[in-house]
Amino acid sequence: VTAVLGARLALDGLSSRGVWVASGLGLIAVEVTSLLERSADSAYAADRALLGPTLGVVVPLVAYALFEAVYKRERSTALLDPVARHGADRRLLSFGANGTLALGCASMAAVFAALAAVSARGFRDPALVADFSASLWGGALTGVAYAGLFALASHFGRRGRIAALVLDWLFGSGSGLFALVWPRAHARSLFGGEPVLDGSQALAALILVMMGLVGTIFAAARETR
Amino acid sequence: MSELVLSGLYDGPLIGVNATLGAGSWVVLGGDPAALSTLVALTAGSRAPRRGLVRYAGHVAHASPELRRVTAALFADESLPALGCVSDAVQAILSARADRRASRALLDEIGLANWGARATRDLDASERRTLALALALTHADARLVVLHEPLAAGRGLGPDFVRNGVASAVDRGAVVLVATQSLDDARVLGGEPSLLHHGVLTSTANVPLGSPVGGDQTFVVETPDARRLTAALAREPAVRGVRWNEESAPETVLVYGSDTERLASAIMKILSEESLGVRSIGLSRLPLPSLLAAAVVPTAPAYPYGAPPQQPYPYGGAPQQPYPYGAAPQQPYPYGAAPQQPHPYGTAPASAYPAPTPAGPAPTDTLAAAPADQSVAMPTAFADPTKPPGGRP
């Protein structure tokens, strides 16, 4: 019941207008940049659209917007305490809220990545179906990883989330040791870009899943019961 | 019998609070609202103290959902769960408590049914406290009840609701801790008194509190837009009266009323709506009559803060002027009652606002005796606390 309460708190934030505006703008940005890439060079349009604006800019920013809509500039305790003080377990509340956010981020990133693949390939491309399905689950894993990162960062409020966004952009752009804990680097590796420490795509997928799980569980464990 | 144990609490304004409270009603009096609200938040398990421990029946308050489930609390600043409407937020609270009642039925029971459909963000601070108080006092299984200024929050529900709720919790064997700044509220609610002073809790169980007397609260607002503020406040139902003297204190407005929270809300609303500048707002700790009696005396209305122009040594301290920067000896407490004030409720003949005689109709403008005073003439529904009852037509 307590985890469901946490999920309800998150769902209420996710149904706000800001989320729809951010998602709408994200969709437009993905569509426009994918079409531009396709008109420039259709052979590599899907790769460039996915690795560039979609996973590099739109997915992290919209995931950040989803967390802001739920946590509203505040630390995670500000969302949880009004329920927790009446007897709800903060850890379960946190797990419910961040789990729901992870699902939201995964859905959003999956849709964005699939849209980018379809728009960049065009409906007549024979590789469309394979790219579409790969983008769908690859995007979902990326969204989950960002949710884990922001769940941990939300313990420090908006500053924490902004810091996570900036650090992901700074260190996740590389492929060395410093890139190991940032979703951007592994998302790039998963979608066929430069690998992190020469790891495989399967490893990148596994790390993205682990980031989501560890982030959500650690965020819950950090709360007092 | 379960006891509430506060051991070595250090947190913000609290510097070593120790107490063991058994079942029954306890009232903590204190002049520092931050200390009282911190004590309530820590006792209710809202958060962990920086140092020390709050335990009840062996459970650590902030780390035990089971204890929080049987804790009913009213904080100084309440927030509702971030859900769309009040009914949803109340349902979430009931679910957290494992209370199977429906939120709408509960809201109906406490007379707040029309709040159910309102958005949670539309409730102001006072309304949130009222709702939290109602939820706290209707908690059927509460073993620990911790309330911050319940009578102020419960004005919409009625003092009987608060008294009965507290009495019912005590009858169930709960520990009830009430924190208040008001001696009058403490008297009304009863219970074993303790004093929270300078961050330390001292039992004053043997000190009788006496019977309730009632009275108004006064806010002192320092603003360059005193005239506009005075005019605008006259429209507010929470404001029982406003005092402003253009000559002696042109930037000081005294606003008084019976409900501190509604009064503060009204002042803030006016300041915001009228875009008025403000330097400070403070709640006077003294009753208005004492404040008025000491604020303006006939000898110094034109120079309330400085030396008169005939003073030949404005900065040098001439032998005949021992107070070069301040009030003359006869006005040592510009905004407060002097301890030796023989007429604390404004009946002293030296006051610029002489109290009217009880018999006969009072003038509509209660400050007619002081031409420079720009106080607003309140509608007849507004009583002036400086006047004895029945003095107004």
Indicate whether B286 pLDDT > 60. Answer: no
Residue A115: phi and psi, rounded to 5, are -65, -45
pLDDT for A92: 92
Report the length, in residues, of chain A.
Answer: 225
Confidence of residue B185 (pLDDT cuts 50, 70, 90): confident
What is the Cα–Cα distance from B366 to B53, expressed in whole angstroms?
54
What is the Cα–Cα distance from A119 to A115, expressed in whole angstroms?
6
Confidence of residue B298 (pLDDT cuts 50, 70, 90): very low
Indicate whether B393 pLDDT > 60. Answer: no
Chain A residues with beta carbon closer than 8 angstroms to that of B64? 225
Cβ within 8 Å, pair B82-A72: yes
> Chain B interface, mutation test: which of A11, A12, A16, A85, most B Cβ atoms within 10 Å?
A85
Residue A220 at interface with chain B, using a CB cutoff of 8 Å: no
Least confident span in A74-78, B11-15, B199-203, B331-335: B331-335
Q: How far apart are the first and last CA of chain A?
A: 15
> How do residues B121-178 score in pLDDT, each as one tens digit?
888 888 888 889 989 988 888 888 999 988 877 667 777 888 888 888 888 888 899 9
Instruction: Give Cβ neighbours of residue B96 (< 8 Å, ≥ 6 apart).
Output: A2, A5, A83, A84, A86, A87, A88, B69
pLDDT for A214: 93
Cβ within 8 Å, pair A83-B65: no
Query: Looking at CA atoms only, how far is residue B1 from chain A in angstroms?
Result: 22
Indicate whether B301 pLDDT > 80. Answer: no
Which residue from B minimizes the CA distance to A5? B92
pLDDT for A177: 86
> How do residues B98-113 score in pLDDT, each as one tens digit?
888 888 888 888 888 8
Confidence of residue B189 (pLDDT cuts 50, 70, 90): confident
Confidence of residue B211 (pLDDT cuts 50, 70, 90): low
What is the Cα–Cα distance from B122 to B115, expressed in whole angstroms?
10
pLDDT for B153: 76
pLDDT for A128: 81
Residue B42 at interface with chain A, using a CB cutoff of 8 Å: no
Q: Quick one: which of B269, B218, B271 has its CA closest to B242?
A: B218
pLDDT for A112: 92
What is the Cα–Cα distance from B276 to B282, expressed in whole angstroms?
16
Place of tokens 């607002």: B221
Chain B residues with beta carbon closer than 8 angstroms to that of A77? 47
Q: Quick one: which of B369, B372, B3, B377 has its CA closest to B177?
A: B3
Cβ within 8 Å, pair A12-B97: no
Which residue from A minimizes the CA distance to B79? A82
Cβ within 8 Å, pair B48-A224: yes
Residue B209 at interface with chain A, using a CB cutoff of 8 Å: no
Q: Which residues pair with B280 in a beta bridge?
A: B222
> How do residues B239-275 score in pLDDT, each as one tens digit?
878 888 887 788 888 888 777 777 888 888 888 888 8
pLDDT for B46: 86
| H-type alpha helices, chain A | 2-14, 17-40, 45-49, 59-71, 76-84, 90-121, 128-153, 157-172, 183-190, 201-222
Q: What pTM did the predictor assign?
A: 0.67
Instruction: Give the tokens for residue A119.
Output: 């728009």
For residue B21, with 0-12 CB atoms within 10 Å meaning exposed, 13-18 middle and 19 or more buried, which class applies?
buried
Residue-wise pLDDT tens for chain A (225 aa)?
788 888 888 988 888 888 899 999 999 998 888 888 888 887 788 888 888 888 889 999 999 999 999 998 888 888 898 999 898 899 999 999 999 999 999 999 999 999 988 888 887 877 788 888 888 999 999 999 999 999 999 999 899 999 999 999 999 888 888 888 899 999 988 888 888 888 888 898 999 999 999 999 999 998 888
Residue B124 at interface with chain A, using a CB cutoff of 8 Å: no
Q: Which of residues 8-27 of A touch B (CB under 8 A)?
A: 8-9, 12-13
Least confident span in A59-73, B223-237, B340-354: B340-354
Q: What angle do CA A7, A10, A12 make, to 5 degrees?
A: 110
Place of tokens 């002049």: B31
The answer to whether B143 and B2 are in contact (CB under 8 A) is: yes
Strands B192-197 and B200-203: antiparallel
The ipTM assigned to this model is 0.76
Indicate whether B351 pLDDT > 50. Answer: no
Indicate whether B235 pLDDT > 50. Answer: yes
